[in-house]
Structure 1
Amino acid sequence: MILPSSYLLFLFTLILGSIISISSSSWFGGWVGLELNMMSFIPLLTLKFNSYFSEAALKYFLIQALGSALFIYASCASISFSHLMYTFILFSLLLKLAAAPFHFWFPQVSEGLNWPQMFILSTIQKLAPMVLLSYLSMNTMTIKIIMTSAILSAMIGAWGGLNLTPLRKILAFSSINHLSWILIAISISDIFWLTYFVFYSLISLSVMMTFYKIQAFTLSSIIQSNQNTASYALIMSLNLLSLGGLPPLTGFIPKWMIMQIMINMNLFFILFFLLLSALITLYFYLRIAIPFLILSTPTMNFNMKLNNSSPFSSLLLIFMSFNLYGILLPFYSLLI
């Protein structure tokens, strides 16, 4: 099992906290759900009692506690400065989401996690703050702050992932970059960011499940894995390129949708930064994929464990095949 059965209670309360925040009719209920979500995730970080997991749990707790304190301060500020209340709530949610310029903690925490916890931190833990953030997208000032944070997240997520070898840090900066697209979608409409979030979650699940299967945490550990067959290298590379949004793979579909909406709304300045950052992120995905493909060929492979590779599980193949659905998109358009 990925998580011991004794920790299923914490996983249940974690999801329950997100549901409470999403379904709450007041900011207080949203704060309660976020606190329950945070306190349920910390035991999941400390599955193994070593310094890396403990350090990641402590960093996560301190940052989330700071965001919660800022959230509470917003309610106090609303008594005398009502116009600042939503600004402080917005900053606290951006801090919990690890959106730039409050992104500094996310790669540091990710480096001390295992792949299941990394997936929860990148997806489930961000759902409730995103929903609460969408409630603030009715104000002109908050929309401008969200768009500014989206531009910063796009560039920082792209430049931060360059010249890195730890896979968890690379995917952490990739998550920050994808968050920029979600922030823009939040400022436009709920249906667009929910669609993007679902696509990103499924693609990330396929990539992280693969890394978890081979216990890969650096670029060198991927190359030295006992799964270096040509089919495995091809599927893994397609997963990474789909996460980068390369057409016609599945990861391009939500980006294409948001690009069309931004063009219709004349948001060309913001779109330029998003596309530039997407190009840079595609580069460091290629840094993983190209050596992987080259060294998996029989003439270039020096790994003596090549014949000991185990077959893929059916569940892993299902999630991997999701990244190929985008290839069928031209046929969908012909039917329509």
Structure 2
Amino acid sequence: MIITPSLILFFTTLMLGTTLSISSSSWFGAWIGLEMNLMSFIPLIALKNNQYTSEAALKYFLIQALGSTMIMFSASLILLNNSISIILILSLLLKLGAAPFHFWFPQVMEGLNWIQAIILMTIQKIAPMILISYLSFSPLSKYFILSAAMISAIVGAIGGINQTMLRKILAFSSINHMAWMLTAIIISEISWMSYFLFYSLISSSVALFFYSQQAFHYMHLINFMNSSFSSKLINSFSLLSLGGLPPFTGFMPKWFIMQEMITNQLFFPLFILLFSTLITLYYYLRISLSFFLLMTSKTKWNLKSNFSKKIPTFFIFFNLFGLFFPSFFFLF
């Protein structure tokens, strides 16, 4: 991706919109921040004038516009009836892409490149999730958030099983991780922030690896030829870390959330989250094993890369942190 002044401008306003939304003292200010964020991300999506980016930009705009309309409607009525906050939560779940309003998220991801996908999976989730945390004060609100979390866990796990497109796999993986983050919001903001930080770094490292290989399909990973055995091994560990397999780094935030859920006696939601995580590990293991079991000289093709062939050292160290320092777990 070529960095241009317009790209820097839109990314800056995107971050400013997120900051304004989470720091506003009124729902009107939060709505303005969300709209600024939306109108900054649309040009970032439509960098290339082709069918896929135009379709993704249009779908994203329509969904976010619907969510913004619901926010304005419910925020104007929240003073009359506190139960209207449920509509506000549903509108934020729509903007977030959490189940049962997840239908647009994999389709938009399919039309993005990997750098845009990283922004959609990480930065674009900050403002809606923090706004949801402001609404998790009543038992009814917590019930709706926890229900959305369990549905997101199931949808994210089952939806990615038969997928062969890597962006859709990461999209359903993101939906599954949103279940853990929504549950963490109910418990405490520190738990949510810790999980989100770990998730952002690990998912970014995986997406940067796919970007370095210009891989968009499952077969691209099977047949790429410009990596050593150690590189394949480290990238496989990164995928397993994203799935939360112990003792990799991705297991650490899940372990913290599990402890908090047991303390709060959320046993049934914990069972749903753990069961869905085991299902997501299936398609992570399928990708990882393909690096070593399906590599033949007859099926290789050369993939040109516009990025470094190696993942930055920081991401490699971060994903293997739990493996190299198992004693770190016992500090908590």
With normalisation by structure 2, the TM-score equals 0.94
Aligned to 1:74: 74
In 2, Cα distance between the equivalents of 1:291 and 1:136? 44
TM-superposed CA distance for 1:301, in Å, is 4.4
- Superimposed CA distance per residue, residues 286-312 of structure 1 (whole angstroms, 9 cap, x where no aligned partner): 11111112245xxx4446678x99995
Structure 1 runs of 4+ aligned residues shifted over 6 Å read 308-311
229-238 or 13-22: which moved more?
A: 229-238
Aligned to 2:196: 197
In 2, Cα distance between the equivalents of 1:156 and 1:333? 30
1:88–1:47 CA distance, 2 compared to 1 (3 A): same
Matches within 5 A, 1:80-159: 81-159=80-158
Aligned to 2:30: 30
Q: Quick check: 1:13–1:36 contact (8 Å CA) kept in 2?
A: yes
Aligned to 2:223: 224
**Paired letter, 2:201:** L
Matches within 5 A, 1:1-336: 1=1, 3-78=3-78, 81-296=80-295, 300-302=296-298, 316-333=312-329
1:29–1:52 CA distance, 2 compared to 1 (3 A): same
Q: Quick check: 1:74–1:84 contact (8 Å CA) kept in 2?
A: no
- Superimposed CA distance per residue, residues 241-270 of structure 1 (whole angstroms, 9 cap, x where no aligned partner): 000000000000000000011111111100
Q: Matched residue pairs, number?
A: 331
Percent sequence identity is 55
**Paired letter, 1:189:** S
With normalisation by structure 1, the TM-score equals 0.93
1:169–1:333 CA distance, 2 compared to 1 (3 A): closer
Q: Quick check: 2:211–2:307 contact (8 Å CA) kept in 1?
A: no
- Superimposed CA distance per residue, residues 199-227 of structure 1 (whole angstroms, 9 cap, x where no aligned partner): 00000111011111110000111122232
**Paired letter, 1:173:** F
- Superimposed CA distance per residue, residues 34-70 of structure 1 (whole angstroms, 9 cap, x where no aligned partner): 0000000000001100010000000000000000000
1:224–1:329 CA distance, 2 compared to 1 (3 A): same
**Paired letter, 1:30:** A
In 1, Cα distance between the equivalents of 2:126 and 2:331? 34
TM-superposed CA distance for 1:89, in Å, is 1.0
1:309–1:125 CA distance, 2 compared to 1 (3 A): closer
**Paired letter, 1:122:** M
Q: Quick check: 1:161–1:284 contact (8 Å CA) kept in 2?
A: yes
1:294–1:21 CA distance, 2 compared to 1 (3 A): same
Q: SS at 2:135's partner residue?
A: coil
In 2, Cα distance between the equivalents of 1:292 and 1:108? 27
Q: Quick check: 1:165–1:219 contact (8 Å CA) kept in 2?
A: yes
TM-superposed CA distance for 1:3, in Å, is 4.0
Q: Quick check: 1:22–1:128 contact (8 Å CA) kept in 2?
A: yes
TM-superposed CA distance for 1:313, in Å, is 6.3
In 2, Cα distance between the equivalents of 1:309 and 1:69? 41
In 1, Cα distance between the equivalents of 2:251 and 2:87? 34
Q: Quick check: 1:101–1:149 contact (8 Å CA) kept in 2?
A: yes
Q: SS at 2:78's partner residue?
A: helix
- Superimposed CA distance per residue, residues 138-173 of structure 1 (whole angstroms, 9 cap, x where no aligned partner): 111000000000000000000000111000000000
User: Could you list the runs of 5+ residues in structure 1 that have no partner in the other structure?
Assistant: none
User: Could you list the runs of 5+ residues in structure 2 that have no partner in the other structure?
Assistant: none
